[in-house]
Amino acid sequence: MLRHWLAVSAVLAIASPAFAQQAVSPLPSPEEAGSGFTVALGVGYTPDYVGSNDYRIIPAGAIRGTIGPVSLSTKSTYLYADLFPRRANAIDFDLGPIAGIRLNRASHIDDPIVRLLPDRKTAFEIGGFAGISLHNLTNPYDTLAFRLDVLHDIGNAHKSTVLSPNIDFSTPLSRYTYVSASVGADFVSKRFADYYFGITPADSLASGLPVFNPRGGMEKWKAGLLANQSITGDLTRGLSVFGTANYSRLVGDFKRSPIVSQRGSPNQWLLAAGLAYTF
């Protein structure tokens, strides 16, 4: 993770003078700059399941913007609603609900051995997030956010709670280029671990994989980078191209699960690219 933060520091060293050069033309205030609405569509490259070494291409989409006093954004298959939009202050509080779905092992598994295991149901998760955001660290438009996400399955899948502390930094490098970086981790219960990573005696008989009874705890740590480059207009309006890369590493019993250690990999990548429009 240190290498990721060193890379971010190098970007920031370039960002401030580049942004200052663009400041010759009139720029909206940070609050006005964040009042637009962005819709993004593209393709993603993702593992078949968490811990798989087989990948597939899927459609990808995202939104980010404000509706009245509420800021909306998507992260993976989850929708976030921040009830406290950015103000002129150097410190903001972040608080709001989250809703989404977890599709792990629900379908599309290529591995012939893992495919012998029972399918998992789609988890319908709701919860919330809370944190603080710091601004004006390198320029008036940047944000360093510390956030805790709490999600609980309200359906009939893993029926447990997931805790995810996260740190995100985002800034424009110029009027036309935007970057963000993030690090975080996921902490889960034994029930979650059993549901997605355990191998029961019946599972072992069906698949030939050894019986495995995992514990809960830290499932993985993760880091990500995103870049957005305007094609028409600038970051406040018009068409742009985006690309994102997210890496996660399973740890503890999660990387020792037979579906990971024997049939997959603890190293997980999620890549996506496409077009976005801001209006």
Residue 11 has pLDDT above 60, yes or no: no
Q: DSSP letter for 226, please.
A: E
Number of domains in the chain: 1
Tell me the pLDDT band of 271, cut-offs 50, 70 and 90. very high
The C-alpha angle with vertex 64 and arms to 58 and 65, in degrees rounded to 5, equals 155
| The pair of three-digit structure tokens given for residue 214, joined into one six-digit string | 């995992």
Residue 69 placed within a domain: yes
Domain carrying residue 220 = 35-278
- Which stretches of the chain are assigned E, i.e. beta strand? 37-47, 55-67, 70-75, 78-82, 91-102, 123-135, 143-153, 161-172, 177-188, 217-230, 238-250, 267-278
Task: State CA 24 to chain mean position distance.
Answer: 34
| 126 is a domain residue | yes
Q: Is residue 173 part of a domain?
A: yes
Instruction: Extract the runs of DSSP E, i.e. beta strands, from 136-266.
Output: 143-153, 161-172, 177-188, 217-230, 238-250
In a domain, 206, yes or no: yes
Give the pTM.
Answer: 0.87
The enclosing domain of 104 has a CATH number of 2.40.160.40
Does residue 2 sit within a domain?
Answer: no
Please report whether residue 190 resides in a domain. Answer: yes
Distances (CA, A) of 70 to 67, 81, 201: 5, 6, 49
Tell me the per-residue pLDDT of 129-160, one tens digit each, with 9 for 90 and over. 999 999 999 998 899 999 999 999 999 999 99
Q: If you average pLDDT over residues 43-64, what whole number do you get?
A: 96
Distance of alpha carbon 117 from alpha carbon 31, whole angstroms: 50
Q: Look up residue 207 and give its DSSP letter.
A: H
Q: What pLDDT band is residue 126 in, cutting at 50, 70 and 90?
A: very high
Q: Are strands 177-188 and 78-82 parallel, antiparallel or unpaired?
A: unpaired
Does 6 reside within a domain? no
Is 249 a domain residue?
yes
Cα radius of gyration (the chain): 20
Query: No. of H helices and E strands in the chain?
Result: 6, 12
